[in-house]
Amino acid sequence: MKAVSACVGRMLVLLMVSTTREQKLRRTTLVRRIVTPCLLSFVEPERRAMETCCSAFLTRLPRGRSWIRGDRPVRTASDGPVDPKAALRLLKEGNERFLSGRAFGSCTDESQLRQLVEKGQAPHTAIIGCADSRVPLETIFDSMPGDIFALRNAGNTCTHAEGSMVGSLEFCTGGLGTRMVLVLGHTTCASIYGATSTYFNNSRGNPSPTRSALDGLLYDLSVVAEQAAYDMGPHAAQEDVAAHAVRINVFHTIDFLLKFSKSIRERVSCGQLEIQGALYHMDTGVVEFMGRSPRQSSLLTCKVAMPPSVEALSSAASPRGRVRTGVDNRVPALEALNLLKEGNERFAVGAPISKMSTSSMVNALASAGQAPFAAILGSADSRAPIDSLFDAMPGDLFVLRNAGNTCTHAEGSMVGSLEFCVSKLGTRLILVLGHTDDLAVRGALATHLYGSTSKSIGSALEGLLMDLTSVAEEACKDLGPFADLDQLAAHAVRVNVFHSMNFLLKFSETLRGFVRSGELMIQGGIYHLSTGRVEFLGRSPEQEELLSSSIQLPPSMSALPIRTTGDDAILPEQSLQLLKAGNERFAVGMPLAGGITAEMRKALAREGQAPHSAIVGCADSRAALEAIFDAMPGDLFVLRNVGNSFTHAEGSVMGSLEFCTGTLQTPLILILGHTSCAAIKGATHAYLNSTQNKVNKAGRALGSLLESLSTVAQYAAEELDEDATEDEIADLAVQMNVFHTMDYLLTNSAFISDKVQRGEVDIQGGIYNLESGRVNFLGRSPNQSKIINTF
């Protein structure tokens, strides 16, 4: 200790007697080279004693230069790599020194600078930080030149600079041997706060036009704000969302590095590289270390080799520089789905790589044919260009488009086209793609909520909107009565995607067969106009159930057969199923009946009729029986009168039914009432008048009819409370009238009663709802067993 002090003392004397500035500089450098290693080798008590001994010299140094603490050796390429844990510890210790005011600083002498030049760099950490002038990376980590490989831009992001950032990190972690990467955000980051404001403006319907690179940066960063808003819920303040978005952005950048760099993923996978996030709190100077990305494990399985913009530069040597033709192998469904996701990501970040068609591409497609890896059923909206938003080349996608991305009014064309694509071209993925702010779906929603502006369909557009109202109806049912129009419209877009997927599965045996075998995947998606990204929805929840469908063709392409005496006998339960299936087609607006050919008419005339059902219905013009059961000529033996009753017509109606069930061997009789039946309402009114001794003013025949029907009105009134209204009594009387007619038939026709007892004929009841178009099948009369056992 004394010897060292004496040595230092002599050097101090030399320094103090130096006369020129150059002499002082040279001798100060000499003192540092000798004294610094000595001081750094002492333990703390000895160092303090040495500093006291040299206090006279220390006071002669320029103010603010803690040279004893600042003169540390620099890292060069001659040093070995620093373990990620050790590098992280160095960062933490440096930030602690920065906070305590004991920073070593980054003072270097010419020798150290020469070492860095001659031996090269070997930084222990690479940092992606914000360009904000209040966040100087080397200072807040109290680092020396050679310690940190610093990358900085507004928002510490890869957006708009992904090639530069990823390429720089691949150089640092590969060429320089750095094993620690830190993505560093900071509080109150103006870029993230600006992106959050952009997101909120867009979500409120006040989008800002992109007029500069800054606008583009804020727009692309808004996906971070969107995630933050989702995490915090709909009632979070914009300021709080922005603060959370700063944290989200750190992991967003880490995820980008892992997703788009094969070399970085490989180093992380084998433990040679660590990527962590951190947040610098500007109000305290504290760096909060946040650890790895929660998505690291899943992203390490990614197959993307390089960032989108870099891939674009090398597209001449990439498979994207050529087109798919018929000579290429078929692409499996999952691989095709990944190609769509990757293409959409390139489109969303503004780095598409697909080339325009060249003459050689055109010739290849013409000579070798097409082999698209995916078929897309999308909207015709000009804001959703399907080839562009998936960054697809000619020959990649088989695209079908119409308003509303639906099969309604175009089911034959759409289904037939997709069957061709799958069976003939070998495509293994179908994507039904909706998009936000779909005007066709919104129009259908308005039609459902507020009704059509006209009483009849006057155009193909009106017909399209009417057919899409089932989608609107389901959306309203899902969200309930308190949802606003925008919420309903957004949900209806989603419902419509699944509706179209279900249609394909229900009406195409070809597509069902490929799905069952695992060769075909039918998926859904929604293109978000505001972000450029596709939200992939997966398969239909009803897929397994729909795979059991037996329907061969879409409604517009199907044709029902006619029944003649040449057909096999049919059981009552089969007849009932035919009625139910036909009514369902009618109710959903997909009837199949029609297309009667000359040969069909000749067959009916030549071979005779063999109706599967006889129906006793009301003569009301709103209840056209053949229509509501979607029946072909020869299917139904129809008897109609006011009130679907035997009253005043029992001989005619009963005799007709005995002919039908006996001669024609029809196995089913359906007694069908309907809602809002004027005859029943009149009978109810007549009954109530009679109880009050009021005179009915109807004509003689009508009055007699109403009086006869008043029996069911009386039964209905007796079933209900005394406070029941006339409409409530009439509604119940409709149902009771159906059973009354069934009982009358069983009681007064021994022929039919005998057939019912032997199981050759079944008598069922139903009520047709004028509003919904559906028949409520009531089953048999509760009195049937008692009546037939009396014979």
The CA angle 438-439-442, to the nearest 5 degrees, is 90
- Residues 6 or more apart whose CB falls under 8 angstroms from that of 324 comprise 370, 371, 372, 373, 393, 395, 396
CB hemisphere CA count around 69 (13 angstroms):
16
DSSP 309-371: HHHHHTGGGSGGGS---TTSPPPPHHHHHHHHHHHHHHHHTT---PPPP-HHHHHHHHHH---
Q: d(Cα 154, Cα 157) in Å, to the nearest integer?
A: 7
Query: How many other C-beta atoms are found inside a 10 Å radius of the C-beta of residue 730?
Result: 26
Average pLDDT, the chain: 82
- Give the confidence band of 5 by pLDDT, cuts at 50, 70, 90: low
For residue 678, CA distances in Å to 242, 358, 673, 724 come to 64, 72, 11, 19
Question: CB of 225 within 8 A of CB of 201?
Answer: no
Q: Which of 299, 194, 296, 181 is nearest to 245 (CA)?
A: 194
Q: d(Cα 2, Cα 771) in Å, to the nearest integer?
A: 109
Question: CB of 748 within 8 A of CB of 787?
Answer: no
User: Which residues carry a binding-site annotation for Zn(2+)?
Assistant: 618, 620, 674, 677
- Give the confidence band of 410 by pLDDT, cuts at 50, 70, 90: low
DSSP 394-417: TTTEEEEEETTS--TTTHHHHHHH
**Residue that is written with structure tokens 């061997």 in the block:** 665
**Residue that is written with structure tokens 């560093």 in the block:** 184
- Give the confidence band of 39 by pLDDT, cuts at 50, 70, 90: very low
**Residue that is written with structure tokens 């909120």 in the block:** 200
> What pLDDT was estimated at residue 180?
96
pTM above 0.75, yes or no: no
For residue 742, CA distances in Å to 297, 673, 765 come to 70, 11, 8
Question: CB of 246 within 8 A of CB of 259?
Answer: no
> What pLDDT was estimated at residue 181?
96
**Two tokens, residue 237:** 């303040």
The values of phi and psi at residue 377, to 5°, are: -100, 105
> What pLDDT was estimated at residue 669?
96
Q: Give the 3-state secondary structure percentages of the chain, helix then strand then coil, rounded to 5.
A: 50, 10, 35
pLDDT digits (tens, 9 = 90+) for 259-269: 888 899 999 99
- Residues 6 or more apart whose CB falls under 8 angstroms from that of 267 comprise 173, 174, 273
User: What residues does 527 pair with on adjacent strands?
Assistant: 435, 534
Residue 492: pLDDT over 80:
yes
Query: How many other C-beta atoms are found inside a 10 Å radius of the C-beta of residue 382?
Result: 6
More confident residue, 221 or 672: 672
DSSP state of 127: E
The CA angle 712-718-722, to the nearest 5 degrees, is 130
> What pLDDT was estimated at residue 524?
96
pLDDT digits (tens, 9 = 90+) for 655-664: 999 999 999 9
More confident residue, 296 or 642: 296
- Residues 6 or more apart whose CB falls under 8 angstroms from that of 447 comprise 465, 466, 468, 469, 472
User: Which residues carry a binding-site annotation?
Assistant: 618, 620, 674, 677
pLDDT digits (tens, 9 = 90+) for 614-626: 999 988 888 889 9
What residue spans of 270-307 are helical by DSSP H? 296-299
Residue 633: pLDDT over 80:
yes
> What pLDDT was estimated at residue 203?
75
> What pLDDT was estimated at residue 359?
67
CA 297 to chain centre: 24
For residue 548, CA distances in Å to 100, 190, 501, 586 come to 72, 56, 15, 22
Question: CB of 105 within 8 A of CB of 137?
Answer: no
Q: d(Cα 411, Cα 555) in Å, to the nearest integer?
A: 8
Residue 221: pLDDT over 80:
yes
- Give the confidence band of 539 by pLDDT, cuts at 50, 70, 90: very high
Mean pLDDT on 196-208: 79
Mean pLDDT on 501-519: 92
Q: d(Cα 501, Cα 583) in Å, to the nearest integer?
A: 23
> What pLDDT was estimated at residue 741?
92
**Two tokens, residue 608:** 């005779």
Run of H or E including 184: strand 180-186
